[in-house]
Every structure is written in C-alpha cells, then in structure tokens.
Chains A and B, each alone.
Chain A
Amino acid sequence: MADQKSDNGGKGAPVPPGGKGPGVFAKWLKEQIQNLKGRVKEEGESLKRPEKTQLFKSMFRVKHDDSDRSRALGVLSNVFFHLHPAKINRDAVRYRFTWGMGGITFYLFLVLTLTGVLLMYYYHPTKGQAYQDIIYLMSDVPFGKLLRNMHRWAAHLMVITVWLHMFRVFLTGSYKKPREFNWCVGVVLLVLTLLLSFTGYLLPDDQLGFWAVTVGTTMAQNTPLLGSLGPLGRQLHITPYNDVRFALLGGSIVDANALLRAYIWHCIAIPIIASVFMGVHFWRVRKDGGISGPAPVMLASDMDKPVPPYNPPKM
C-alpha cells in the first residue's frame, strides 16, 4: 500500500477526522490525495498484466504464462483455436511443406463472408435495381468501391489458392491412407468454391455476368437425358420449359428469377453447405492424425515387409 499510515489503511470511504480548524482539514485532504494517488498507481501497475484481471480470467479460463501446459490449454480451451492440436510435428510449421494454402483458402472464405455480408446491405436481387445498386456502391457508399473490389479479388484468389492447395496435397501424397475420405471432402469443397464464384458472377446484372451465365447454362441445356438439347433429351419429351436449365434459371431465359436464384445460392445455400463441409474437412484433418507430414521417407525395400499394426492417431 502506498500509504499505510492513513487512518483507514488506504481502503474504504474516507472518514473526516475529529478536531477543528482549516489546518486539520488541509492535512486530512492531503492525506486523502496521497492515498488516492497510491491506489491509482497500484491499479495502473496491475493493468500492465491484463491477464491477472478478473475480466481477462473470465474470458480465457487459462493461466497466462510461458509453461507448455498453459500454452497447450490456451489452444485447446478456446473455441476457435481448438481445431488445432496442442502439439504438432516440428517440421509441419514450415511454409515450404503446406504452403499454408489450406489455411489461406479458409481465411479468404472468412474475408469473403465478412465483405459479402456488408455488400448484402446495399444490394437488392431484383432486375433493374441490382445494377443500380452496384453503381451506387461504387460511387456513393463510403468505402463501397473498396468493399466490392475486395470481395471480387478475394473470390478470384480463393479459386487459385484452392487449386494450389489441392496440388500440394496431391504432390505430398496426403490423400493416401487414412486420408482418402478427406480428399473427397476436399473435392466437394473445390466444386463448391467454383460454384460460389460462378453464382456471384451474375449478381451485378451486367453484360459480363449475363453472358457468362448464358454460356454456362447453355451447357446445362445439353445435359444427356435431362437437357432439352442433350442426347436423348427430345426422345424423353424434355423441352426448354422442363429441363435442368429451367430448374437452374427459374425460367427459360436468364432473367429476374435467375437473378434471385443465383442470389440465394450465392449468399445463403452454398455458403452454408460449404461451411458444413469445411467443418467436416478440418475435423477429419485432426481425426486422421493431423497433417500428413513432413513424414519420414519410406523405402521401396520396406514395401515387402509385413505391415505394422495400425496405430490409431493420438488425440
């Protein structure tokens, strides 16, 4: 305590002393100020260690020190971080091995979600209005242009990073036992990523999107059996009014219904589906024993030896 000598030990409400005269009061006041200064200093000091505050402890639930145990708990007891194991292969943190591509892809998905939600505040999925909204966004909304650009470029970047991620997973043979299924989950994510990007293309309702979607859905029109122009379609009485293209566009041409459908697929349905698959993907990375390497190299001469019993991954 800064001032142990004060009447009440520096704590509680100050009690004016008995006695008379301005001198006594001034002394008392001085003491009180001293006292207060001490407390301010003391509490200021404690703010330098925020992890000791009640507020911090209530949020994070773990000791904040340099022991391995606390560090592990810091990861494991946090809802966002606990996707990670507490410890990992010492070489797995090298950028050179994973290129960080899966993580970057996921981060871009988060960026796209954030910027996408913000864009939704300014966008109506209706013919005529949609285009005007984009113009308005680019010219009048504060940071609207930046927002739209970031959403656009993050989407393109995500397509690239998901390809590179797949490339890396292939080259490191990470789809091999026991990760076969997670590779398949990944392929679904790849398709969903492309579809997310494609459905977003139509939303500005400009020539670029309109013709890209026209080209895309004309291909769907040629689906065997289910498309009006596809092989065996006509024989099955498939017309432009009941084929897959009609289902995709909500009509026989790219128009208002197509815009609404693209909007719902883009902003609601596919993001939800993709989130579910990402959850499974990350969970499987853990359950399959963490990322695959960098693993010790195997030798062709080891192949002939009997297979050791399967070691379930420690979690």
Chain B
Amino acid sequence: MDWHQLWEIVSTPDNVPIVALLFLVPFFAWLAWQQARANDQLIAQLEADPKLAKTAHRKAFPWKPGWPKEIQTWPYLMRVEFLAAIIVTVILIVWSITLNAPLEEPANPNLTMNPAKAPWYFLGLQEMLVYFDPWMAGVVFPTLIIVGLMAIPYIDTNPLGAGYYTINQRKHAIGAFCFGFFVLWITMIFIGTFIRGPSWMWFWPGQTWDPTRQIYETNRDLPDIFGITSMNGKMIFGAFAMALYFAVAGAFIHWLMTRTEFNRKIQKRMSLIQYLTVQFFLTTMLLLPIKFIIRRPPFRIKYIWITPWFNI
C-alpha cells in the first residue's frame, strides 16, 4: 500500500473538487432522498384515503389554516440569498488562502505529460477513450449527452412529480438519470482521476504509479473469437451483433416500460416518436457499461463491429 502515492493524488490542488464531489453528491442525494421519502409516505396515505386527499394540504411541510400561502420576497427570500452569498464567499476565500492554484512548467510540446489528463470535469469522456474510438468518446457521446438532456422534458410523459421530490411516482425517470449521473459521469471522473496513472494504465488506489510498468494484454475483437478473419465477414458479423444487442436491449427497455399498470399508462401517453427516442437513448446508454465490462479482463474485447470506415 503506497500511502504516499495515494496522498499525492488526493491532495493535488486540482483534485480537491473531485474529493469534494465525493462528499457533496452523496450528501445532496441523501437530502433529496429524505424529502422524497416523506412525500412518498404522504402520497401513499392520500391515495388510500380519497376523502383526506380532497382536503389535505398535500405537502410534507407544516401548514396551518390561516397561514399565508405566499410570503414577501423581501426579507424572507433575499436574506437567505445574501446569507448564501456570504457563506460561499467565506468558503472561497478560506479555500484560496490555504490552497494555491497549480502552475506547472511552461508549455513544452516536446515534453509529453504522462499521464496527460483533460480537466477533471471531462475525465469521464477521456475514460471513454479506453472503450470507444475518439470520434465516439469525444464527439458522438458529448453530442448525445447534450441532445439527450434537452430531450428529457419532451419524452417524459409522466405528469406526476412536478415540483416536489418523489421516487415512487417517477422510478424509471429517476433511475435512468441517476444511472447516467452517478455511474456514467461521476464514477468515470473518479476512475479518471484516482485510478488512471501513467499511460492511462489502471492502478488500484494505493498502487505506485510506475511509469515504466508494462502491461501485456492481448486485445481481441469480437469477430476474432468466432474465427472470422475477412473484412467483409467482420463487417457483416458486427452489424448482426449490434442489431442483436439493440433488439435485446430494446426488448428489455420495453419490458420495463410496460411492467406495471402505472408504467403502461405512462407509455400509452407517448407518441411513436417519443417512444423511439426513449428507446434510442436508453439502449445507447446501456451500451456503455456493457462495453466497459467486456473490455476488461477476462474478456478483453476491443471492438464489436469493424468496418473500413469506423469501429465500434
């Protein structure tokens, strides 16, 4: 166990935000979860008692008849905002006094940094380079992330859960988003920061980052396993493999979307184009962890689909 190495990574000033994320994300997830649970209990209670539902205040926050539903922005909101500004300022000043922003040697094109890392918030995409070609990891995925995020309001046909925390009423939406945010984004950043060392090799936490370390691993492509050697054969085989993947993943998503009475109701509200968009984004998202797994030992499969123009 190389504690020194571990400390060096964790205490690098530019890695402080990632260490902060390690606490902030779980904290806020917990905060949200707590409120969602309170609301879900209330919802269950009201669903069971329609009479109460007609008269209830319908919020987990306390309320008494006679209390105004609205309050003055000044002072009640603005004092909170000023307080937040002061707290953020104090944190920022203390942070800036105690930790210096890094400055390396002057830029030198002849001296390659090893590892050469993108800024931490893009490490998820850089980590994707291990599993996908650069045009996928660096261009297609970012585009899909942006378009996919923008599509969310237009493909989520579930009218429930607008303006309050809940899990039970939006299980699938929240599940998909949290999978993307926690697993595909935050975890990849952690891996890119803490695990990836020189030459982007995998070093477990506490393992010394040895730049001379060599890993001999023979990567194979999926067609190789089936003994397919000709280019045309690989192309056709890969196309079939991808089609098979999307069929199976699509069927799985469809099963999820129509599993319960409530799910079916939401699915019925979708137009065909909404349904297909959901399918496209979710099946593509699922492709990432699958490639992640088959790329690592013992499978070590690099490409599924090989063509003269691109590989996936």
Contacts and interface: CB of A to CB of B under 8 A. Distances in A.
B116 interface: yes
Interface of A: 68, 71-72, 74-75, 81, 84-97, 99-100, 103-104, 107-108, 111, 131, 134-135, 138, 145-146, 148-154, 156-157, 159-160, 163-164, 166-168, 170-177, 179-180, 183-184, 187, 190-191, 194, 197-198, 201, 204-212, 214-216, 218-224, 227, 229-232, 253-254, 292-301, 303
A150 B100 CA distance: 9
Contact of B17 (A103, A159, A194, A301): A159
Contact of B53 (A174, A218, A299): A299
Interface of B: 14, 16-17, 20-21, 24-25, 28-29, 31-32, 35-36, 39, 42-43, 46-47, 50, 53, 57-59, 61, 67-78, 80-81, 84-85, 88-89, 92-93, 95-97, 99-109, 111-113, 116-122, 125-126, 129, 133-135, 137-140, 146, 149-150, 152-154, 156, 159-166, 169-170, 174, 177, 181, 262, 265, 309-310
Contacts of B150: 183-184, 187
B164 A90 contact: no
A175 B20 contact: no
B156 to A, nearest CB: 7
Q: What are the 4 A-B residue pairs with the smallest beta carbon separation, nearest first?
A: A219-B138, A295-B163, A293-B163, A296-B58
Given A170-B177, A297-B43, A299-B43, A148 B105 contact: no
B50 to A, nearest CB: 7
B39 to A, nearest CB: 6
A173 B122 CA distance: 26
A75 B53 CA distance: 36
A221 B146 CA distance: 20
A207 B104 contact: yes
A208 B113 contact: yes
A171 B174 contact: yes
B237 to A, nearest CB: 19
B88 A219 contact: no
Contacts of A297: 39, 42-43, 46, 58-59, 164, 166
A100 B81 contact: yes
B119 A212 contact: yes
B163 A172 contact: yes
B108 A207 contact: yes
B163 A197 contact: no
Contact of B61 (A91, A174, A176): A91
Contacts of A208: 14, 102-104, 113
Contact of B162 (A89, A91, A298): A298
Nearest to B186: A163
B68 A90 contact: yes
B147 to A, nearest CB: 9
A145 B100 contact: yes
A224 B135 contact: yes
B134 A154 contact: no
B134 A175 contact: no
B107 A149 contact: no
A206 B121 contact: no
Given A167-B181, A299-B43, 19 more contacts: A71-B73, A84-B78, A93-B71, A103-B81, A104-B88, A150-B93, A156-B14, A172-B162, A176-B153, A194-B121, A198-B119, A206-B107, A211-B113, A215-B118, A295-B59, A296-B58, A296-B164, A297-B46, A297-B58
